[in-house]
Amino acid sequence: MTDFRIRKHPILPIPQRKSITFYWQGTALEAQEGETISAALFANGIRTFGHHPHDGAPQGIFCANGQCAQCMVIADGRPVKSCMELVKPDMQVMPLNGLPVLPDVNEPIEMKPIPQLDVPVLIIGGGPAGLSAAIELGKLGIHAVLLDDKHRLGGKLVLQTHRFFGSTNAVFAGTRGIDIATRLEKEVRKYPSIDVWTQSTALAVFSDQRVGVLKNGEDYILVKPQTLLVACGAREKFLTFKGNTLPGVYGAGAFQTLVNRDLVRPAEKLFIVGGGNVGLIAAYHALQAGIGVVGLVEALPECGGYKVHKDKIVRMGVPIYTSHTVLSANGTDRVESVTIAKVDSNFKPIPGTERSFECDSLLIAVGLDPVNEFYLKAKEFGMTALVAGDAEEIAEASAAIFSGKIKGLETARSLGYEIGEIPASWYRTGEILKSKPGKVTSEQLPEVRTGVVPVIHCVQEIPCDPCSALCPHGLIDINNRDIRSIPQFIGNSYCCEVCERCVAGCPGLAITLVDYRSNPEKPLVSIPYEFTRETIKATDVVTVLDTEGEPLGDLEVYSIHSIPSSDRTLVVQVEAPIDIANRIAGIRIQETTITQPMDEYVDHVTDDVIVCRCERVTAGQIRSLIRQGYRDINEIKTVTRAGMGACGGKTCTSIIHRLFREEGIPVDEIVESTKRPIFVEVPLSAFAGEDRKES
């Protein structure tokens, strides 16, 4: 069987873990100790985990975050979410085909009293915002419970191998997300007043101002905080298109979880929908994992993410199709190809522009919604509650870190602690970190062709300043009052000592260094490179490209090396003709053959597409009810079951709203769906206390 594990990675260490045996449909397979069932199945090339009871549609990973039930399997006779359950030696795993069968109960279970706990602060979410808030509370000695539903803290930071943007002084800019997660977790665990509950999920906020928590994945407990801080992050939006539920269609978070946390390769050829930072970064992570990226579509005329992210993947050979949309994911039991088309100014597909591309996976990265339900319920029930990070406002993780820091102090103030005034500069920094990409200027290439010249290929106003801190002589300047300004080289060609720190340390890989000293007509160009050393060596011939991804020529590699401060980024040097040297911005990573369209496009079907994944409800069913006069989403739920599935309407609700808009229904006529009290499914035995450990 083909091995789908990632054995080498340019950034991530490959841990040596004990191999264990488990069984899939009676066949012995190899897993690694400590990994989830879903990771073990993917490592063995298994993508379909079961079939839907409604129509037999194949089911596989979708969110990899425990928020849906697409990856449900039967493990040792129990239905479990494979993305959340760890594989165990000799575990017997079966696909879930249809509905799981409940076990026989011979006599009623004795209900045990539900434990209750009063705490000063409960923080829901152990990502960047929650961790930063907990640190501030820990410094003040305030008792808080920090809970997170994963096996380790860090939230999405644990999936981010790239260096972060933002402020070097305020939020670890220039440090990789995986390392920020480790640093924040270590800091939190220093404070004895902070109780950390991992594998623990907040289930509901109740009217008696208590929060139901499933602690350690098995013990139900009611927590009553004096102040509730919600830092749950965000969930991904979804799209309706034919084939959108096939195995191989993932949210970006699921893809990054499989690649960067589980170290398995969930695709050979990937296509991406969405040109925000999430989609652009996911493309880069795929390339680093040895996965071919066939292309990326974005419905808007320009990508919404940072231009340096876009430029980076374009230079590496990934085509970006702006003003395009996905029409269909094609295949019977799994994704085999994708069909895209251009869109007009109203975002409608233009007939005759269809193209299909062979791929085995489709990554959806079309935006995020705040996970703020707990905060809204808490406020409704009169609790003292605050919200931080993406649960408050969608932004970059750097903004979430700083938001958490501020909200930690505001939480302390809510408890009556005298903390003084939070500096106004903190709030200003927070707003800067949350700001969207700004103005793009034309690239100004240096005219100097003597000595050593850094070339800054960053031309968009974004909050980022590591390059100014990297230069030991302060030769790169950014306005320290507003780090969104574009960096400038303020030295001369004889000041630079070729330490290459700016080349290796720029988060956007947007700085090269041109050294004219040895041979002015064929200078050495230093280029950042974040792939394994085995993929390139001296004397290899590489294609160099400019900022926009246009090929400049094929050049021989002069050297490849690292520097002491490089933090896993390599530097590749090429000798380049003087007329192109300062235009070189990167090296093509993948060949153009992988990005070519198929000879004929695969015709997409224009009838109904799935809106509610859990209950297999189509857009046509919902449109029909809207046209009949239905305006209450609760009534639509009653008729179709849309929103009544395992995810609790987390995916389909926003799509139903979009269908209302497309049908011309004003927002004030729509009656919102009643929120379900339980956030994720819980075995009834947990409420009964059947498996509770007695202390």
Q: Where are the domains of the chain?
A: 1-102, 120-234+370-434, 452-594, 607-695
- Predicted pLDDT at 107: 81
- Predicted pLDDT at 1: 47
Specify whether the CB–CB gap between 401 and 426 falls below 8 A: no
Architecture of domain 120-234+370-434: 3-Layer(bba) Sandwich (3.50)
Residue 49's Cβ-count burial label (10 Å; 0-12, 13-18, 19+) is buried
Question: What are 262-292's pLDDT values in tens digits?
Answer: 999 999 999 999 999 999 999 999 999 999 9
| 120-234+370-434 and 607-695 share one fold | no
Distance CA 579, CA 635 (A): 67
Q: What is the 3-state secondary structure (H, E, C) of 87-152?
A: CCCCCEEEEEECCCCCCCCCCCCCCCCCCEEEEEEEEECCCHHHHHHHHHHHHCCCCEEEECCCCC
Q: Which residues contact 137 (CB under 8 A, 6 or more apart)?
A: 121, 144, 191, 193, 194, 408, 411, 412
Question: What are 208-249's pLDDT values in tens digits?
Answer: 999 999 999 889 999 999 999 999 999 888 888 999 999 999
Q: What CATH class is the domain 1-102? A: alpha beta
Distance CA 501, CA 505 (A): 6
- Predicted pLDDT at 677: 67
Distance CA 410, CA 405 (A): 9
- Predicted pLDDT at 695: 41
Segment-wise mean pLDDT, segments of 10 residues, the chain, 695 residues:
85 94 97 95 95 92 86 92 94 93 78 93 97 97 96 92 91 94 97 96 95 92 98 90 92 93 95 96 96 97 96 96 95 94 94 95 93 94 96 91 95 93 90 92 90 94 92 88 90 86 94 95 96 91 95 96 91 96 95 90 69 90 93 93 86 89 92 78 80 54
Distance CA 529, CA 586 (A): 8
Distance CA 596, CA 304 (A): 25
- Predicted pLDDT at 3: 77
- Predicted pLDDT at 607: 54
Distance CA 213, CA 115 (A): 10
| Residue 570 main-chain phi, psi, to 5 deg | -90, 165
**38 three-class SS:** helix
Tell me which fold the domain 607-695 belongs to. Arc Repressor Mutant, subunit A (1.10.10)
